[in-house]
Amino acid sequence: MKRIYFSLLIFCCGLYAACTSSNIDFPHEETLAFELMPLQGVTLPYRLEVKHPFLIVQNLERTDSLFHIYDLNSYELKCAFGFKGRGPNEFFTPYLFSTQLPDIIIDRGDDLVSLYYITLEGMPMLKGKKQPLYPDGMLDAAFINDTLFVRNDLYISPELQLFTFHDELPRKTWTYGNPNIRYRWIDSDFGKVYANEERIVFCYHFKKQIDFMDVDFNLINRVKFTYPHPIHVSAEDEYDVKRSYTFGYCGNRYLYIVLPIC
């Protein structure tokens, strides 16, 4: 198989321990260096997930072996699995979630979410399937634990909503933008949500601002940086407006954010 090299530049911001530590000022920022990984069989990586010591890669342009599992110590390909389709063991429009949970969570695209655990040999084993009550909001969900998640209500209102897998209505909501803007992607307050068991973090897409909250949406710290963010974004110029942050991951102590190149 063709050997592909790829790398990811990650910006690290927000040491949670710094909220109570006298040794490190909050926020503490650090830019991490590139690291090349000689992974076999990757065509076009779309989503990445780490379940130490394994790396799971979702491929974008494949109809077979949608997911590859690698050993991070040796970069060896341990397993390739997943076929695209509508069958009982296939994935229609798969989406690999990044979570701190021990299981791999994959949205199958057929209103079902599959949970896998990885054996010591790097093999995926199906643990079960769930049918979310709000499948449209799952793709932007941030998992707090195995029962709670936060969804970004992109299509209806500029709100973050706290759900359990069994609730019919959100337990709590937090409004971040202008409710009169129906097209969320041109709201200057638009952003992405990340979470762990202690924090919900909202990174604004256009503004260089990050809000740190507890799991009940109580604001703990609002980090602002000197940055001329746009006041108004239109559908005509949304791709020309400079973005502050793109994708990220909320770890136990650090928030990892990918910065746009330009």
**Given the DSSP bridges, would you call strands 37-40 and 104-107 parallel, antiparallel or unpaired?**
unpaired
Question: What's the confidence (pLDDT) of residue 2?
Answer: 40
Give the end of a domain, one of 131, 162, 181: 131
Question: Could you tell me if 176 and 78 lie in one domain?
Answer: no
CATH code (residue 214)? 2.40.128
**185 by DSSP, 3-state: which?**
helix
Number of domains in the chain: 2
CA distance 97 to 105: 6
Which tokens is 25 given? 């000022």
| Average pLDDT of the segment spanning 95-99 | 89
- Residue 241, pLDDT score: 63
258, 189: one domain? yes
With a cut of 60, say whether residue 18 has pLDDT above it. no
> Is pLDDT above 60 for 19?
no
Q: What is the dihedral of CA 112, 162, 177, 94, to 10 degrees?
A: -20
Are 168 and 256 members of one domain?
A: yes
- 176 shares a domain with 112: no
Q: pTM higher than 0.75, yes or no?
A: yes
Domain boundary among 74, 97, 131: 131
Assess whether 159 and 230 both reside in one domain.
yes
Looking at the predicted structure, is the pLDDT value of residue 32 above 90?
no
Assess if residue 7 is contained within a domain.
no
Contact (Cβ atoms closer than 8 angstroms) between residue 114 and residue 129: yes
Clarify whether residues 183 and 89 are in a common domain: no
The confidence band for 138, taking pLDDT boundaries of 50, 70 and 90, is: confident
Domain identity same for 116 and 159: no
For residues 99-103, average pLDDT: 88
Q: How far apart are CA 43 and CA 184, in angstroms?
A: 32
- Start-to-end CA span in the chain (Å): 33
pLDDT confidence band for 242 (50 / 70 / 90) = low
Has residue 153 been placed in a domain? yes
Q: What is the mean pLDDT of residues 95-108?
A: 89
